Amino acid sequence: MRKHQNLLAAAFMATLPFSANAVPNVATDVTPIHSLVSQVMAGVGAPDLLVQSGASPHNYSLSPSEAQALQEANLVFWVGEGLTPWLERSLDNLSLDSRKVELLEVVGTTTYAFREGATFDAHDDNDHNKEKEGGHDAHDDLQHDERTEDDHHEHSGTDPHAWLDPANGKVWLDAIAVALADKDPENAAQYLENAAAGKADIDAAVSRIEITIDQLKDRQFIVFHDAYQYFEKRFGIPAAGAISIGDASKPSPARIAEIRGVVTDLNVGCVFTELQYSPGIVKAIFGGTGVNTSGVIDPLGSGLATGANLYPDLLIKIADGLQSCLGEK
């Protein structure tokens, strides 16, 4: 009889929601963050991905299964409202015991302000673009519809694409491990060990990237939207400009004219498209200029397998994409 009662008790406990001894239900916003969290949780559990690979995070609607995964999450890791402003309200509706970790606010994170103008050299100074560590200033809500840059008037605040600085990736691995260990002390040692291994993988990727980038620093290129300044500054390979601002809004005619002008002035050799957006606009702007428009880079790693390896592979893929388009002179 007692054995039967014990079996029933065990079955009942298995149906209960998260407890202190259970692996937490974890949700992440975009693929690079999902990758970092997957690395830390390796051998213990796996996080849910809310914004699927290949989709733009700036304006995304959760599927019923994604919304359910978020609702059931005990722990959520997200970049911040600058990347996914639509997600903030859903996070506010989670249970009181759910923890939300906004990675841009993690102490030690390097952040930059949005750059101004289609070409950055005239605006990228201490007044407009200050490096900060340990969080960032409050910033305005971004609009993510089909309006042009002129309709936005200002694009102020913190650039949210901070995962493209591998130093931030390493800081975030530690923060993820600490947050998971707090929710799941039983597996704390595993989380910390996995974070250390992830940082070693990032260091290996950086070493490879530095060799590639060193050969390209005299080449001029333009990106589709201003999402790469963290990568550019970490590796010393600045873009000459961006067709669209940081949320990939449709560029204004004035911005297009400015970009076309810099192609000639700076002898730009390559313009990069992104998988999430139609390449038609790039061809329309640069058709007949002789600029190579075949380059593709992507800040989210679309096309890469999701999971722990995506983050270092993403950084390497960006460097390889630059090399492929800029390597021929």
Domain annotation covers residue 278 = yes
Q: What is the mean pLDDT of residues 216-236?
A: 94
pLDDT of residue 205: 98
Q: How many CB atoms lie within 10 A of CB 39?
A: 26
**CA distance linking residue 173 with residue 72, whole number of Å:** 23
Predicted model pTM: 0.83
**DSSP-derived 3-state class of residue 159:** coil
- Whether residues 141 and 287 fall in one domain: no
- Whether residues 61 and 173 fall in one domain: yes
pLDDT of residue 156: 58
Domain annotation covers residue 196 = yes
Residue 248: domain span: 213-326
- Whether residues 72 and 43 fall in one domain: yes
Which of these three, 174, 204, 234, is where a domain ends? Answer: 204
Domain annotation covers residue 139 = yes
Token output for 183: 């929710």
154 pLDDT above the threshold of 50: no
Q: What is the mean pLDDT of residues 177-181?
A: 98
Percent of all residues in the chain with a pLDDT value above 90, rounded to a whole number: 60
Distance from chain centroid for Cα 319: 16
- Whether residues 192 and 81 fall in one domain: yes
More confident residue, 275 or 67: 67
CB-CB contact of 155 with 114 (8 Å): yes
pLDDT of residue 287: 78
CB-CB contact of 326 with 270 (8 Å): yes
- Whether residues 232 and 192 fall in one domain: no
Total structural domains within the chain? 2
pLDDT of residue 127: 37
pLDDT band at 283 (very low <50, low <70, confident <90, very high): confident
- Residue 130's domain is classified under what CATH number? 3.40.50.1980
**CA distance linking residue 37 with residue 175, whole number of Å:** 10
At residue 251, what are phi and psi to the nearest 5 degrees?
-70, 150
Domain annotation covers residue 297 = yes
Q: Among all chains, which residue has been given the structure tokens 């009889």?
A: 1
- Residues whose CB falls within 8 Å of the CB of residue 41, separated by 6 or more in sequence, listed in order: 23, 26, 47, 180, 191, 194
- Whether residues 170 and 265 fall in one domain: no
Q: What is the mean pLDDT of residues 309-326?
A: 96
- Whether residues 95 and 161 fall in one domain: yes
